[in-house]
Amino acid sequence: MKAMILAAGYGKRMLPLTEKIPKPLLHVRGMALIEHHLKNLALAGVQDVVINLGHLGQMIEDALGDGANYGLRIQYSPEGPDPLETGGGMTKALPLLGPSPFIIVNADIFCDYDFSIIPPLGDHLDAHLVLVDTPSYKAKGDFSLCDDYVLDAAEPALTYSGIALYHPRILKGAIVERFSIVPRLRNAILSGRVSGSYHSGMWSDVGTPERLLQLQ
């Protein structure tokens, strides 16, 4: 199974830290955020990783190289100065990801999730989302879980962790342009085509300098 790390964002909420360094290269507990993901993916048996690049993306490629130091093969999907968001970035990377389901990881989270336990997608599923408790800094959650299926509830109990498994068919008909995957994902949820699981371990959205400091 292949994985894609979403690393093309500007990291504006992390200013001034991200003026000269891309957010995925900010260090937490001895290594860059993105390196924690690479290490955990390799431990789970993933061999091929695609990383999309945007703001200061060349610095990420220079730091990680071809992935050999992590026991991985890394390929890059540069998006230029105007990042394509989640849907556009995934669509552009599809030629590198291939026709099988692939793991998606947001580069700006810090967690101890074991990628080896993410369940495979059945033929009737377009995605599997890993959900966590809604942190105190969020006004409300994103989704709820019921019988291992994700629900787009009126009062969602849980938050999307930034970790998912997607089947390429969720992007059927998409072209390479700037768009979010969320509308397609919500349509799939309404059709009962998205499963989910709950992660009770360590997780943080490293969205502000204050949260980064708390993790150190």
Place of tokens 């610095």: 59
How many Å apart are CA 216 and CA 213, to the nearest integer? 5
Structural domain boundaries, residue 50: 2-215
Work out the number of other CB atoms within 10 angstroms of the CB of residue 209: 15
> With bands split at pLDDT 50, 70 and 90, how would you rate the model's confidence at 106?
very high
CATH code: domain of residue 171:
3.90.550.10
Model confidence over 157-189: pLDDT tens digits? 999 999 999 999 999 999 999 999 999 999 999
Question: Is there a contact between 33 and 26 (Cβ–Cβ < 8 Å)?
Answer: yes
Q: Are 189 and 170 in contact (CB under 8 A)?
A: no
| pTM score | 0.95
Per-residue pLDDT at 55: 87
CA 135 to CA 204: how far, in whole Å? 8
What's the farthest any 2 CA atoms get from each other in the chain?
Answer: 45
pLDDT digits (tens, 9 = 90+) for 203-214: 999 877 788 777
The tens digit of pLDDT for each residue in 50-69 reads 999 998 999 999 999 999 99
Q: What is the mean pLDDT of the chain?
A: 94
Cα-trace Rg, the chain: 16
Which pLDDT score is estimated for 109? 95
pLDDT confidence bin for 10, thresholds 50/70/90:
confident
Q: How many structural domains compose the chain?
A: 1
pLDDT at res. 17: 75
CA 154, CA 201: separation in Å to the nearest integer? 26
pLDDT of res. 126: 98
